Amino acid sequence: MKTGLGLTLDLLKRKSDPAEIIVKLALRKALADCESVLDIGCGASPTMRQLGVSQIVGVEGYKPSVEQAKSLKTHDEIIEADVRELECHFHAKQFDACVALDVIEHLTKSQGLKLMESMERIAVKKVVFFTPCGFLPQRHVSNDDLQEHLSGWAPPEMRQRGYAVAGLLGPKRLRGEYHVIKGQPRIFWAALSLLGHFLWTHRHPEKAAAILCVKDLAKP
């Protein structure tokens, strides 16, 4: 994996919202000891590639995103499949980590719990979720894009399931759909969001726009 200043500079080049850089650094820390990662609902995101993960397999159910990911070579392998049926494609303990970034909120609660159980069986070391804190209404952009939110996930319920939870993206009230900063000028409110992250919401995830939930499967 890339580490330290090199990764930070790469992310600065790619992101105008500084809070997004903190998300990538938190992911890097969570996956530091993981060489193989199953990236669930991966879209065409290069996040795992940016983090320097050695072996990356992506799972995506939206065909245009599958084709784009293959074109951009964001993963070593892309599998077009329903994320609700992971166990039809992967066996137990196949990857060091299973990661679902902005995915579980697109499923119903029962589907999300099934996804969580599947990920915990497939992973050896870590299971990682990044999701809005609580329910965040979000609509489709197009009818088949799978972007509607169907559930919300709060810090207490994730802790009850054995996940360490950290707040990310600053105060919840500053962001709307797709985690986009609501205020203008956006650069000012983005900076305020970052300040809020460091001063408050990182340690109080119930007030954060998003949460990073990490389960260490090596711990009893």
Tell me how crowded residue 201 is: count the other CB atoms within 10 A of its CB: 26
Any domain includes 152? yes
State how many domains the chain has.
1
Residue 94 pLDDT class (50, 70, 90 cuts): very high
State residue 200 phi and psi, 5-degree precision.
Answer: -145, -60
Per cent of the chain over pLDDT 70 is 90
Which residue in 52, 84, 81 sits closest to 65, CA to CA?
81
- Domain carrying residue 23: 4-167+210-216
Any domain includes 198? no
Q: Token pair for residue 176?
A: 């709307």
Any domain includes 128? yes
CATH classification at residue 86: 3.40.50.150
pLDDT, one tens digit per residue, over 22-57 is 999 999 999 999 999 999 999 999 999 999 999 999
pTM of this prediction?
0.89
In three-state secondary structure terms, 52 is: coil
Q: At what angle do helices 18-30 and 4-14 cross, to 10 degrees?
A: 140
